[in-house]
Amino acid sequence: MTAPAYKRILLKLSGEALMGDDSYGINRVVVERIVAEIKEVTELGVEVAMVVGGGNIFRGVAPAAEGMDRANADYMGMLATVMNSMALQDAMTRAGLECRVQSALSLEQVAEPFIRGKALRYLEDGKVVIFAAGIGSPFFTTDTAAALRGVEMSADVVIKATKVDGVYTADPKKDPKATRYQKVSFDEAIGKDLKVMDATALTLCRDQKLPIIVFSIFKEGALKRVVMGQDEGTLVHCD
């Protein structure tokens, strides 16, 4: 059997991906399907670290956050990522996967504090590690958290799971002539503002020579194809 193209990955999962077709919240069926795909790649020997967003929960209370202090609103978003991480951990445990949640905020009753050395040992032992609460500071996105944790964990690649199957020349929903990039350089992605990740995350990955793959989490088997190095999604790479 062909070996995976990557030994250790950082999977960035949006909070919106967890709600499926619901208007907000966590869809149990969707979570179980995503966990099944993660389990499939761990059985190939791939070490999986994760960062999950909180848009599925925070979006539900966003109107109440209008006019709030930005830092307070960001902390609310971080707490939403902790809830999503706990839901994923529960689903993984029921699926027979060992999982640990490490939080950048101090929430010892529900998650371990982020400790780099411990996280690395968990990965080496075959456990999935979910990094919750972003980087623990406001004004930074979970994209930036994914880039930072990917570098800290010495990941081979950051894999961003989205609703579309890669990066396109234009919005494929609005422009029928839009085409998918198979590969694109960091400089081109930044220069053309291709919305791969925010500029801070892209710059960090570029400077640390950490490639990014953007793919659709809603395509069955897509995650496995990505880690096997097949033509799935879009690879963002250094020149």
Is residue 201 assigned to a domain? yes
Let me know if residue 3 belongs to a domain: no
Cα 175 to Cα 48: distance, rounded to the nearest angstrom: 35
Q: Residues annotated in the binding site for ATP, as ranges?
A: 12-15, 55, 59, 162, 168, 171
Give the range of the structural domain holding residue 137, as residue numbers without chain letter.
8-237
145, 135 in Cβ contact below 8 A?
yes
With respect to residue 142, please indicate whether it lies within any of the assigned structural domains: yes
* Residue 12 dihedral angles phi and psi, to the nearest 5°: -100, 120
For the chain, what is the mean pLDDT?
A: 93
The stretch 42-59 carries a mean pLDDT of: 93
Please give the model's pTM, rounded to 2 decimal places: 0.94
Q: Which pLDDT does position 23 carry in this prediction? A: 84
pLDDT at 165 over 60: yes
- Which residues make up each annotated binding site for UMP? 54, 74, 135-142
147-151, 164-168, 226-230: segment of lowest average pLDDT: 164-168
CATH code for the domain in which residue 168 is found: 3.40.1160.10
Question: How does residue 60 score in pLDDT terms, banded at 50, 70 and 90?
Answer: low
Quick one: average pLDDT of 95-109? 97
Separation in Å, CA 229 to CA 109, 212, 225: 39, 13, 6
Domain total for the chain? Answer: 1
List the beta bridge partners of residue 10.
49, 158
Q: Give the annotated binding-site residues.
A: 12-15, 54-55, 59, 74, 135-142, 162, 168, 171
Q: What is the pLDDT of residue 63?
A: 65
| Residue 175 counted as domain residue | yes
For residue 190, is it within any domain? yes
Secondary structure of 27-39 in HEC code, one letter for each residue: CHHHHHHHHHHHH
Torsion of the alpha carbons at 146, 147, 153 and 157, rounded to the nearest 10: 100
